[in-house]
Chain A
């Protein structure tokens, strides 16, 4: 069974540009969440999607947006890139949405974004 796949793995962009990152969850998983990881702030929650609907959003500016498709694949977009957006962006998928269960989140390898 394939794990969570994130593309691309590495990306270098210039300030002011925009970027789109992709995440394919584990087959059968319908919940996808995005996190930003930096040395200073650790893992910070960006968004959560389930059945193509955004269920939750973290404390990030409107330049950060996302969406989920009918096949559960998700994309996140960052517009007008800033140097501080340089980070590892991680996607996690889970099987359930609510209910009883200890369904952990499975993480992808991440996309390392460098803004210069």
Chain B
């Protein structure tokens, strides 16, 4: 079947690092995307991986291993504004069709 799994919630302290893991089993693969969603707002794009390896974008990095069906999002130097839901999404065999994980709620504490 098709599945995208990520932890439900993670808590970390301001200034710390948090790693959100995502495992997936999907038919077709055209990239793995990470989105951030604050409560009541639209998801906003954070990062994208289509080849194996690490992509770094400022405080955020994302890693992909296609053979393992595994990705992670690394958030460094956490700030209070990083408290949000982080969504792992796989673009399948159709350009506009994403399959999303349930989201990981990250809570940043002072």
Contact = CB atoms under 8 A, between A and B. Distances in A.
A12 B96 CA distance: 28
Contact of B98 (A33, A49, A110): A33
A102 B31 contact: yes
Interface residues of A, number: 29
Interface stretch (B15-23, B37-45, B67-75, B76-84): B37-45
The SS class assigned to the A binding surface is strand
B94 to A, nearest CB: 5
B87 interface: yes
Contacts of A55: 94-97
Given A42-B102, A92-B98, A104-B45, 12 more contacts: A4-B42, A42-B101, A43-B43, A43-B87, A43-B100, A45-B97, A45-B98, A55-B94, A55-B97, A90-B42, A105-B96, A106-B45
Interface of A: 4, 31-33, 35, 42-45, 48-50, 55-56, 90, 92, 94, 96-98, 102-110
Interface of B: 31, 33, 35, 41-45, 48, 50, 87, 89, 94-103
